[in-house]
């Protein structure tokens, strides 16, 4: 049985930052960094909702939330 992938808070922050570039989509970035687009959208929503709390430590790996993401120009 395989283990669930655990991405570092730094990786999550960097991936989210890439989605904030003009003309790119969450899907495009997710595929480039090797994660599911829905996962990146979830991370982005979590970061937007809890800006001061998002991805500060390993406790994030136990959380989940729904998300959405589109193209940013």
Is there a domain that residue 70 lies in? no
Would you say 25 and 71 are in contact if contact means Cβ atoms under 8 Å apart?
Answer: yes
Give the pair of three-digit tokens for residue 36.
């599911």
Cα–Cα distance between 53 and 48 in angstroms, integer?
10
Verdict on whether the full-model pTM lies above 0.75: no
pLDDT, tens digit, for every residue of 20-62? 999 999 999 999 999 999 999 999 999 988 776 656 665 544 4
Q: CA angle 12-34-65, nearest 5°?
A: 45
Structurally, how many domains does the chain consist of? 1
Backbone angles phi, psi at 5, to 5 degrees: -70, 135
Would you say 14 and 21 are in contact if contact means Cβ atoms under 8 Å apart?
Answer: no
Residue 27 lies in domain: 9-54
Is there a domain that residue 71 lies in? no
Residue 58, pLDDT score: 56
């Amino acid at each position: 049985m395989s283990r669930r992938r655990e991405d570092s808070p730094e990786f999550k922050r960097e991936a989210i930052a890439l989605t904030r570039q003009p003309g790119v989509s969450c899907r495009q970035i997710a595929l480039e960094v090797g994660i599911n687009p829905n996962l990146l959208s979830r991370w982005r929503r979590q970061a937007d909702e809890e800006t001061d709390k998002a991805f500060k430590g390993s406790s994030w790996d136990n959380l989940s939330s729904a998300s959405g993401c589109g193209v940013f120009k």
